[in-house]
Amino acid sequence: MPELFKLKDKKFSEKDKEWQWTYQCLFTLIFNQIEIREITITDHYQQEHPDINNELILNLLTKLNEENLKPMKYEGKREPYEWEVIYDKNPYILFFWFNDYNPHGLWIRNCHRIN
């Protein structure tokens, strides 16, 4: 199986107090009719879900292609999305939004298995 993502950057954000990994999409990923070229995953999910890792999240994102979702109701400056997906016979939920500084990037905030 060819590589679908390439790690571009890994850094600790002093502002957000979290690790952030940015990956380049090496395939065409379309979400809400927008081509997604970058994915940033934060370590926020690891606080409560140590069974999840970046590789799993990237594998989930391969199933996001051609999805069209409406944002969740939220009273902040972002429009977050909540997406449920089955992967390897397990249900997961992913929380993300469009990157503030990159209209072709997704910012992955949280992921966990649905019980």
Taking residues 59-85, what's their average pLDDT? 92
- The total domain count for the chain is 1
Contacts of 34 (CB under 8 A, 6+ apart): 98, 103, 104
The stretch 44-58 carries a mean pLDDT of: 92
Looking at residue 66, what is its pLDDT? 94
Domain of 44 in residue numbering reads as: 5-113
What percent of the chain clears pLDDT 90, i.e. is strictly above it? 82
**pLDDT above 80: residue 72:** yes
Report the predicted TM-score, pTM, of the whole model to 2 decimal places: 0.92
pLDDT band of residue 1 (cuts 50, 70, 90) is very low
Q: How far apart are CA 112 and CA 115, in angstroms?
A: 9
